[in-house]
Amino acid sequence: MRKPIIAGNWKMNNDVNETEALMNTLLPLVADAKAEVVFCPTYLGLQKAVEMAKNSNVGIGAQNMHFEKSGAFTGEISGEMLVAVGVTYVIIGHSERRQLFNETDEAVNKKAIKALSLGLIPIVCCGETLEERESGQAEAKVVRQMELGLKNIDDITKVVVAYEPIWAIGTGKTASKEEADEACGWVRATIAKLYGEDAAQKVRIQYGGSVNPGNVKELMAMKNIDGALVGGAAIKASFAEIVKF
């Protein structure tokens, strides 16, 4: 049985004071969640969030990391630095990072391998553009991202994957539950091809893209969907309804 996992990607929202306020609001509301719960504030909110989430059911994740330990990488943060503040999850290869910051599948792979070596749980993202979906390229895109992004992983069962069609992110347009389940199935089949069916059955696959309290239940009922990566709806009190689906 795969334990459902629902993560909130706060993106570039909430300064450290706002992070504290949102944590104060959300922590009690999500205490009886059905899923494993993860909050991913900005780097600057991580330390505060980790302190506040101690002795709670919430794990704290970063939204990105560099694969090197230290050095001349201006503006970057290493996995070691995340571990040092008590972070336990990290989102890797979010479509905004791929599209706006030119992150490649190769970098995603290096980051995922590094995160696992440090004991961080990587949430590795994939997903197609609207153009790719409309031209029948969605499956090929997702399979390629997974083949390149998830190669040479020691223990694939520790990885969480988030399938997020780019056309559904922040648009209010959710993939239908059938489309979302089908694409999560492509992810699982690719993992099975790389690491075998048994391992693939243990990997948790989230759907992301305009998940909200109104659509989470039907998405979570699908056989290949084990959770959600939530953006806009993650920084509101009603996120609690999502984790209780």
Residues that bind ligand PGA (CB under 6 A): 9, 164, 169-170, 208-211, 229-233
d(CA 52, CA 50): 5
Work out how close the CB of 210 gets to ligand PGA at its nearest, in angstroms, rounded to a whole number.
4
Residue 170 or 196 with smaller CB distance to ligand PGA: 170
Does residue 20 contact residue 244 with C-beta atoms inside 8 Å? no
Nearest distance from C-beta of residue 91 to ligand PGA, angstroms: 8
- Smallest distance from ligand PGA to CB 9, Å: 4
Between 96 and 181, whose beta carbon lies closer to ligand PGA?
96
CA–chain centroid gap for 83, Å, is 17
Question: Of 121, 131, 130, 161, nearest to 145 (Cα)?
Answer: 161
Catalytic residue among 96, 128, 132, 164: 164
Instruction: Output the six-digit token pair for 74.
Output: 């201006």
In the block, tokens 């909050």 appear at 39
Cβ closer to ligand PGA: 8 or 79?
A: 8
Inter-CA distances, 66 with 45, 70, 89, 127, 221, Å: 18, 9, 14, 21, 35
Which residue is nearest to ligand PGA, using beta carbons? 231
CB 87 within 8 A of CB 60: yes
What is the spatial distance between Cα 209 and Cα 125, in angstroms, rounded to a whole number?
Answer: 11
DSSP symbol at 78: B
Please say which residue, 35 or 229, places its beta carbon nearer to ligand PGA: 229
- Which is nearer to ligand PGA, 233 or 243 (by Cβ)? 233
Task: Sort strands 121-126 and 160-163 into parallel, antiparallel or unpaired.
Answer: parallel
Which helix or strand (DSSP H or E) is residue 60 part of? Answer: strand 58-62
- Catalytic residue list contains 66: no
Q: How far is the CB of 157 from ligand PGA (least distance, A)?
A: 23
The single residue of 94, 96, 128, 132 carrying the catalytic annotation is 94
Confirm whether 20 is a catalytic residue. no
Q: Which two tokens stand for residue 18?
A: 């706002």
The least CB distance from residue 152 to ligand PGA, in Å, is 26
Catalytic sites, residue numbers: 94, 164
